[in-house]
A and B are shown apart, each in its own frame.
Chain A
Amino acid sequence: MSMESKIAQWVETRLGLKAKVLRPVPEYSLNPFYWLGALTVIAFALQAFTGLLMLIYYVPTTEHAYSSTVYIIKAVPLGWLIETVHLYGAYAMIFLAFLHMFRGYFVSVQKKPREMMWVIGMLMGLIVLGFGLTGYLLPWTVVSKSATDVSIGMLSFLPAQIGPVLTFLLTGTGSNAAVLSRFFDLHIVVLPAGLLILLVFKMYMFEVHGAAEPSTGRKMSKEIPWFPNVFLYFAMIGSVFVAVVLLASALFPLSLSAEFSAQAASGYVPQPEWYFLWLYQVLKFASFEGEGMYYALGGVTIILAIFVLLPIIDRGATRNAASRPLYTTIGLILMAELVTLTVWGYFTPGQVIPDLQALVVMVEVALVIAMMSALTYRMRSKMRGLPVRELGLRIMALPFTRRKLTAMFVILLVVGSVSLSILVSLLATGSLYSVAASVNIVVLLSSFYFMARILRNLTLRQRGALL
């Protein structure tokens, strides 16, 4: 026996590599959509690594938090890269966690036997958001301190049984020093420990239940061993992910805003990071300002609770999105509202949104998504029996085969969007009952009507042509 194989054998037996620890995975799961959770874990590992490096120099006191952060960026070799990777890694982790959740929602992974995996995953998602909240404060910049003050301020609107207790647990005496040290502890000890414990449970259940089959019910029996095939796949997507984060960090290094002080903060427009913009925007609706905030926070909590308990609520047998129009539509509406609120919040810092305008935009988004979804499901039910690919190709060919109709549709779409945007801006200035507003309402409704007619005719004709 050669020397290498002797060494290899020693390693194999002593480290127990011969035992089949991780089960083989089915071939269909070698698809990036099946690895969003794994990528989130890789992002977490990256955060742990860069976080540990920053701990060497970071000093969590109000006097030194900012200066030590500046020191890492300016003086520590490659410190700017470590800081930036930690920031973008956090963005990636939060984004991937959202993506992982929505993907799971649409293919309905929470069905038997993976109910508990969904519940634990949702709790892990909340912890990830907690990482964002607590970590944001640590550099002690004018933006991060102000945004944190707002989130702590929101606790004062909670009921008297919870509010003061939570405030005490999160902020201690409430002085700047106490808040910083508690957020630091939460960020580097409490939250990572919580996340790791939940991760162990979730990974264990994943090993027992395996990856969910494709929701369309397609079964492929071929199983691929973990080592070396799946391991290499995992290593590949993991390295691509890390490479992307590194590249983005190297190209766009972060720039730290000014150090916190009251006089600097008062001249600044505070805005939370992008992952909390949706909540920020909801809290800027006129009704939810002041005492009404109670209802906004309560509503968001209820929606979150419904999402956590989804496996108890949505228990239908089918996982296929094509046969779950209600849940798919609700999910699409939620996603669209999240994106709308985020973009809207980004562009209207510090502006209170009048109730009517908020209502119109929220209802409008929900209606458009519901209409599109209803139309798609109707078309599908009429086209039953046709392969999806065939249908897609036919729909993509439409603009070329029926140019006049397409042109009319596009014109109507543009006219409708313009009148909608004019209407929204009129609502913002409160002149709802003007002539311009009524003209725009008429234009908007008629463009909707004609677009619906065109779509209906096309659908009927397509059905005639195909069946």
Chain B
Amino acid sequence: MARRNLKRDDLAEFGKSRRNSIKIILALGGLATLGSIASTLRILGFIPPPTQGTSSQALAWPRIKLVNIAAIDSSKPLWFNYPLVDTPNVLLKVGQKAENGVGPDSDIVAYSNVCQHLGCFYGVLLSGSSPPCNLSYKARGMEGYCCCHGGQFDLVNGAKVIGGPPPRPVPVVMLEYDKNSGDIYAVGMGPPTIFGHGPPGTTDPPLVLKHDLEGGELVTEATVFAGTQ
């Protein structure tokens, strides 16, 4: 009998101490959680925004030969990557004098193919044609139409946004036309930064140069692709 009581008392004692331990553990756990939340927030601030790579070298736009003017057809946009190997652009002959246009008729332009809304690749519509996602829409001139969310760009007038959600035009690729050989060169990007490079909508030229060249390999030789449409 005595033995059993003793055992029961022991158990009660044990139970109490277990409750105390749980309390201590909970208190410590709570402190640790608060501490880790605070330190996580602190550490998050220290994770550097992606600025690797090109910082030590002198920054300059690469000068890349794209294509000869003879190969450009006004009904067929061409794709090329510039200034990095995975930042695609479209090259177009719009058929009339265009903003930033080069060539004998100032009608050859190139723009980043990445929409400034959410980073989709817009398609190029010839005048009167419709995008695959909206057959009732007819382009009034050479237009970019993004089938993600319906963004529309006027590719004759500096890629001005003429419809849909994009907050700003896509950046222009600065071109150079060599009168003697007929070759077209890409020599830089206009503001704003390419979507996904640096804070959206950065327009300060040195910052545009810095951010556009971040996060990838520079192109050394242009590969030009014909489109599918």
Chain A residues packing against B (C-beta within 8 Å): 62, 146, 149-150, 152-154, 156, 160-162, 164-165, 167-169, 171-178, 261-270, 283-284, 289-291, 349-352
Partner of B133 from A264, A283, A350 at Cβ < 8 Å: A350
B121–A265 touching, CB < 8 Å: yes
What number of A-B contacts does a CB cutoff of 8 Å give? 132
Say yes or no: A146-B121 contact (C-beta < 8 A), given A161-B44, A289-B165.
yes
User: In the complex, A265→B217 CA distance in Å?
Assistant: 21
User: In the complex, A419→B147 CA distance in Å?
Assistant: 30
Residues in B neighbouring A164, C-beta threshold 8 A = 49, 199
User: In the complex, A152→B114 CA distance in Å?
Assistant: 13
A169–B47 touching, CB < 8 Å: yes
A and B contact pairs by CB, cutoff 8 A, 28 listed: A149-B118, A149-B120, A153-B118, A153-B119, A161-B44, A161-B45, A164-B199, A168-B49, A171-B50, A174-B197, A175-B215, A175-B216, A175-B217, A176-B216, A262-B79, A262-B88, A263-B88, A263-B227, A266-B90, A284-B149, A284-B150, A289-B164, A289-B165, A290-B117, A349-B147, A350-B146, A351-B134, A352-B149
Chain B residues touching A, range: 35 or more
B47–A153 touching, CB < 8 Å: no
Whether B57 sits at the interface, judged by CB under 8 Å, is: no
Whether B225 sits at the interface, judged by CB under 8 Å, is: yes
Closest to A162 in B: B44
Closest to A145 in B: B121
Q: Smallest CB–CB gap between A52 and chain B, Å?
A: 30
User: In the complex, A172→B52 CA distance in Å?
Assistant: 10
Chain B residues 104-131 with CB under 8 Å of chain A are: 113, 117-124, 131
A146–B133 touching, CB < 8 Å: no
Residues in A neighbouring B118, C-beta threshold 8 A = 149-150, 153-154
B225–A351 touching, CB < 8 Å: no
Residues in B neighbouring A262, C-beta threshold 8 A = 79, 81, 88, 113, 121
Partner of A350 from B45, B148, B167 at Cβ < 8 Å: B148
Q: Smallest CB–CB gap between B45 and chain A, Å?
A: 8
B113–A152 touching, CB < 8 Å: no
User: In the complex, A352→B53 CA distance in Å?
Assistant: 39
Chain B residues packing against A (C-beta within 8 Å): 44-45, 47-50, 52-53, 79, 81, 84-86, 88, 90, 113, 117-124, 131-134, 146-150, 164-167, 195-197, 199-200, 214-217, 225-229
Residues in A neighbouring B90, C-beta threshold 8 A = 266
User: In the complex, A164→B211 CA distance in Å?
Assistant: 13
A263–B47 touching, CB < 8 Å: no
Q: Smallest CB–CB gap between B224 and chain A, Å?
A: 10
Interface centre among B113, B121, B146 (most CB of A within 10 A): B121
A266–B122 touching, CB < 8 Å: yes
A150–B150 touching, CB < 8 Å: no
Q: Smallest CB–CB gap between B104 and chain A, Å?
A: 26
Residues in B neighbouring A350, C-beta threshold 8 A = 131, 133-134, 146-150
B227–A266 touching, CB < 8 Å: yes
Say yes or no: A270-B196 contact (C-beta < 8 A), given A161-B44, A175-B84.
no
A174–B215 touching, CB < 8 Å: yes
Q: Smallest CB–CB gap between A181 and chain B, Å?
A: 13
A152–B147 touching, CB < 8 Å: no
Residues in A neighbouring B44, C-beta threshold 8 A = 161-162, 165
User: In the complex, A156→B120 CA distance in Å?
Assistant: 13
User: In the complex, A175→B86 CA distance in Å?
Assistant: 7
User: In the complex, A267→B133 CA distance in Å?
Assistant: 9
B164–A352 touching, CB < 8 Å: yes
B149–A289 touching, CB < 8 Å: yes
Partner of B86 from A176, A263, A267, A269 at Cβ < 8 Å: A176
B195–A290 touching, CB < 8 Å: no
A266–B113 touching, CB < 8 Å: yes
Q: Smallest CB–CB gap between B208 and chain A, Å?
A: 15
Closest to B197 in A: A174
Closest to B53 in A: A173
Interface centre among A167, A172, A268 (most CB of B within 10 A): A268
Residues in A neighbouring B86, C-beta threshold 8 A = 62, 175-177
Closest to A176 in B: B86
Interface centre among B47, B148, B215 (most CB of A within 10 A): B148
11 extra A-B contacts, CB within 8 A, seeds A165-B45, A175-B215: A149-B121, A150-B119, A156-B195, A173-B53, A174-B214, A263-B225, A266-B122, A268-B123, A350-B131, A350-B149, A351-B150
Closest to A352 in B: B150
Partner of A152 from B53, B196, B217 at Cβ < 8 Å: B196
Residues in B neighbouring A349, C-beta threshold 8 A = 133, 147
Partner of B50 from A161, A173, A270 at Cβ < 8 Å: A173
Partner of A174 from B48, B117, B216, B217 at Cβ < 8 Å: B216
A153–B117 touching, CB < 8 Å: yes
Sorted nearest first, the 7 A-B pairs with minimum C-beta distance are A289-B165, A262-B88, A350-B133, A153-B118, A173-B215, A153-B119, A175-B216
B132–A268 touching, CB < 8 Å: yes
User: In the complex, A290→B120 CA distance in Å?
Assistant: 14
